[in-house]
Amino acid sequence: MVEVVLWGSLKAFADGETTCEVEAATIREMLDALAARHPKLAPVLARGVAVAIDGQIYRDDWFQPIGPDSEVYVLPRLAGG
């Protein structure tokens, strides 16, 4: 199991839950598990989020492994320009 922290506005789509545990070995599996657990979060995840694993930020790196003891944060993707 991986403990995932939902950061910022994402928790509103997860019924206020800021952390949850999911069974996942990769970023893609984790995002799929989060979407299954919190259906309101699914469209937000589909639009794109950033994932931080042990302090390293990943974007669209779906097969990045997640260790069972990793610190994992899911953050809203920021747009700028």
Question: Which CATH number belongs to the domain containing residue 35 in this structure?
Answer: 3.10.20.30
pLDDT of residue 81: 57
The residue-averaged pLDDT of 16-37 equals: 96
In a domain? residue 9: yes
pLDDT for 28-55, tens place per residue?
999 999 999 999 999 999 999 999 999 9
In a domain? residue 48: yes
- Report the number of distinct structural domains present in the chain: 1
More confident residue, 60 or 7: 7
The residue-averaged pLDDT of 12-26 equals: 95
pLDDT of residue 60: 81
Helix (H) or strand (E) holding 44: helix 42-47
Please give the Cα distance from 79 to 67 (Å, whole number): 29
Q: Which domain holds residue 12?
A: 2-76
In a domain? residue 81: no
Please give the Cα distance from 9 to 65 (Å, whole number): 25
Q: Are 34 and 50 in contact (CB under 8 A)?
A: no
Q: Which residues contact 65 (CB under 8 A, 6 or more apart)?
A: 25, 26
